[in-house]
């Protein structure tokens, strides 16, 4: 049984960004993610942002590889005298060799099961190219190189053919007995994906916008039809287009998210692509951002049984778009409400809840949204901070890797929900809320900051100081819980006249 690993990466974003997705044959299509904590220097997937890595890679049958974890965020560092824990950096690269953060998870998409029969899909036919042509394409990423549009088209067409070749796909999903993992067919999907990604990363690293404009146009034109092909090329193409950060791909991404027959893993990469467009500096008109946010909010609202990695990507995209409501329907605040539903889902993954808090902290809410309840967002985010602090202290002795991982969530997305992202204007609840709601946000944040610092101090404490640091963290968490328990917002609606949200007081050990 062969496993196919898809590496992806995004730098500078905290909050449970699990970096590797996996496809496995034998049980149809599975997405297996292991949340683990790694340092930035050990996370090979971060290289995709600097022009390195990021290609798909095949592993041998029976191998168990671990997914890279959320990026440590030191962005919340200097908030009103508090310091976000720098100790979150430098985590172990492979928690499986010490203590795991969480068990392996197997997440199925029934729609993907319908996409694995190669006989149902046509191969793309194109003339093969040699390594010399592939190297020549990559060399065009150099700003001083000439751009050969004909060569770009030939290489892209040839790689599309390799991605859809039935023997190549079959070598992954059901390899014949005795097939070597180093055979041409077994490596073809990996090599084709790498050949298309490497020029992209190299050109980004070199800031060669001229090449990127032409290369991305060809990628979108030639590869877009493959999003209706077999599962393997669909996902590989969605990774390539998602990494392109090409603004003209936005309609294609939205089309995939809205398509009720498309596999969830393509939708995941479509949302990743939307976030990349924004985060890599492309300007998207406000109306298009709002439309994109509405599509993602509808996805979160209407899609059944969304796997948590897809929820996470949707929230990342909503945070990047920063749109909490539609101008013509402000009282509904659909995008903010979608994030709030996940923040108040106390059975959801902490990664998801933390990213939901961060998305709400980044959304630009104006007076057009009547009665927007900043205090409610702050209260539930405070409950999340208290829960994370409790788990960090409780797990530290027997599972320090998990404590470190949870501290990343606390010091990253939870902290940024209050304080915003450096360089992102008017971000963070503490900078947006005013009046009575603003006062409450400040009060909660002032109690969250000591929890963050105490968690950070625990991570770097010498062994003899650990008991005292644990007690200190417990005391800071208790103070936060006490305030939240005594100051529960009476209004549990996010917007005036909107539905009420649960506060999860019982789950946090607070009076209901």
CA distance 71 to 47: 13
CA distance 58 to 36: 20
pLDDT, tens digit (0-9, with 9 covering 90-100), for 46-103: 333 333 333 333 332 233 333 333 333 333 333 333 434 333 333 333 333 445 666 6
Residue 183: inside a domain: no
User: DSSP string spanning 293-350?
Assistant: HHHHHHHHHHSSS--HHHHHHHHHHHHHH-B-SBTTBTTT-HHHHHHHHHHT-TTS-H
pLDDT of residue 505: 56
pLDDT, tens digit (0-9, with 9 covering 90-100), for 264-285: 999 999 999 999 999 998 889 9
Q: Which residues of 202-225 are buried (b: 16+ CB within 10 A; e: fewer)?
A: bbbebebeebbeebbbebbebbee
Q: Across all residues in the chain, what is the average pLDDT?
A: 82
Q: Strand pairing of 3-7 and 30-33?
A: unpaired
pTM over 0.85: no
pLDDT of residue 102: 66
Residue 211: inside a domain: no
Residue 330 CA from chain centroid, whole number: 27
Q: Percent of the chain, pLDDT > 90?
A: 68
CA distance 455 to 434: 29
From residue 162, alpha-carbon distances to 165, 170, 191, 495 in Å are 5, 12, 9, 51
The model's confidence at residue 381, banded by pLDDT at 50, 70 and 90, is: very high
Residue 193: inside a domain: no
pLDDT, tens digit (0-9, with 9 covering 90-100), for 105-144: 778 888 998 999 999 999 999 999 999 999 999 999 999 9
pLDDT of residue 100: 66
pLDDT, tens digit (0-9, with 9 covering 90-100), for 346-377: 999 999 999 999 999 999 999 899 899 999 99
CA distance 481 to 162: 57
The torsion defined by the Cα of 227, 231, 235 and 240, in degrees rounded to 10, comes to -50
CA distance 53 to 68: 14
Q: Does position 324 have pLDDT exceeding 70, yes or no?
A: yes
Is 486 buried (19+), middle (13-18) or exposed (0-12) by CB count in 10 A? exposed
CA distance 171 to 169: 5
Domain of residue 369 covers 3-116+230-486
Is 467 buried (19+), middle (13-18) or exposed (0-12) by CB count in 10 A? exposed
pLDDT of residue 13: 36
Strand order in the sheet with 20-24: 20-24, 3-7, 56-59
Work out the average pLDDT over 150-159: 98
Residue 48: inside a domain: yes
Give phi and psi for 307, each to the nearest 5: -60, 145
What SS3 string covers 4-53? EEEECCCCCCCCCCCCEEEEECCCCCEEEECCCCCCHHHCHHHHHHHCCC
pLDDT, tens digit (0-9, with 9 covering 90-100), for 413-434: 999 999 999 889 999 999 999 8
Higher pLDDT among residues 504 and 174, named by residue: 174
Residue 69: inside a domain: yes
pLDDT of residue 165: 96
Q: Strand pairing of 105-108 and 30-33?
A: antiparallel
pLDDT of residue 68: 32
Single out the residue of 251, 343, 247 nearest to residue 300, CA to CA: 343
Strand partners, 23: 4
Residue 299: inside a domain: yes
Work out the average pLDDT over 298-320: 95
pLDDT, tens digit (0-9, with 9 covering 90-100), for 169-209: 999 888 888 888 888 989 999 999 999 999 999 999 999 99
What SS3 string covers 194-245? HHHHHHHHHHHHHCCHHHHHHHHHHHHHHHHHHHHCCHHHHHHHHHHHHHHC
CA distance 367 to 418: 19
CA distance 275 to 266: 14
175: which DSSP letter? P
pLDDT of residue 103: 67
Residue 308: inside a domain: yes
Single out the residue of 364, 366, 368, 454 nearest to residue 411, CA to CA: 454
Residue 98: inside a domain: yes
Structural domains in the chain (count): 1
Residue 146 CA from chain centroid, whole number: 35
């Amino acid at each position: 049984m062969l496993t196919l690993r898809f590496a992806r990466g995004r730098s500078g974003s905290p909050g449970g960004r699990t970096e590797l997705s996996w496809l496995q044959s034998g049980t149809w299509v599975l997405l297996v993610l292991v949340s683990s904590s790694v340092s930035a220097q050990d996370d090979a997937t971060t290289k995709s942002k600097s022009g390195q890595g990021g290609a798909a890679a095949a592993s041998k049958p029976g191998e168990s590889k671990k997914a890279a974890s959320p990026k440590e965020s030191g962005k919340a560092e200097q908030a009103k005298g508090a310091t976000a824990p720098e100790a979150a950096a430098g985590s172990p690269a492979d928690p499986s060799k010490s203590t795991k953060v969480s068990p392996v998870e197997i997440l199925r998409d029934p729609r993907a099961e319908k996409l694995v029969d190669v006989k149902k899909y046509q191969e793309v036919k194109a003339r093969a190219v040699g390594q010399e042509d592939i190297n020549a394409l990559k060399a065009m990423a150099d700003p001083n190189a000439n751009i050969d549009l004909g060569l770009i088209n030939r290489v892209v067409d040839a790689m599309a053919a390799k991605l859809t070749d039935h023997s190549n796909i079959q070598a992954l999903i059901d390899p014949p007995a005795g097939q070597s993992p180093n055979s041409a067919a077994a490596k073809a999907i990996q090599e084709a994906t790498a050949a298309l990604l490497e020029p992209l990363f190299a050109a980004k690293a070199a800031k060669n916008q001229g090449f990127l404009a032409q290369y991305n146009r060809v990628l979108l034109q030639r590869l877009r039809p493959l999003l209706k092909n077999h599962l393997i090329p669909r996902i590989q193409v969605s990774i390539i287009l998602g990494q392109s950060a090409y603004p003209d791909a936005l309609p294609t991404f939205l089309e995939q998210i809205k398509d009720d027959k498309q596999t969830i893993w393509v939708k995941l990469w479509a949302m990743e692509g939307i976030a990349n467009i924004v985060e890599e500096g492309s300007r998207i008109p406000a109306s298009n951002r709002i439309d994109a946010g509405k599509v993602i909010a509808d996805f979160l609202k209407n899609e059944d049984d969304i796997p948590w990695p897809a929820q996470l990507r949707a929230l990342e995209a909503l945070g990047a778009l920063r749109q909490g409501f539609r101008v013509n329907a402000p009282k509904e605040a659909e995008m903010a409400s979608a994030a709030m539903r996940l923040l108040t889902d106390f059975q959801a993954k902490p990664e998801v809840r933390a990213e939901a808090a961060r998305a709400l902290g980044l959304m630009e809410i104006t007076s057009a949204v009547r009665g927007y309840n900043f205090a409610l967002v702050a209260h539930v985010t405070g409950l999340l901070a208290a829960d994370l602090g409790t788990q960090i202290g409780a797990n530290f002795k027997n599972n320090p890797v998990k404590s470190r991982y949870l501290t990343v969530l606390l010091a990253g997305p939870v902290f940024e929900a209050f304080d915003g992202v450096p360089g992102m204007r008017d971000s963070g609840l503490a900078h947006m809320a005013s009046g009575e709601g603003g006062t409450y946000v400040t009060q909660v944040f002032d109690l969250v900051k000591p929890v963050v610092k105490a968690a950070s101090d625990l991570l770097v404490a010498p062994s003899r100081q650990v008991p005292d640091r644990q007690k200190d963290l417990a005391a800071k968490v208790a103070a936060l819980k006490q305030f939240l328990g005594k100051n529960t917002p009476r209004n549990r609606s996010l917007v005036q006249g909107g539905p009420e949200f649960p506060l999860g007081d019982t789950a946090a050990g607070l009076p209901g």
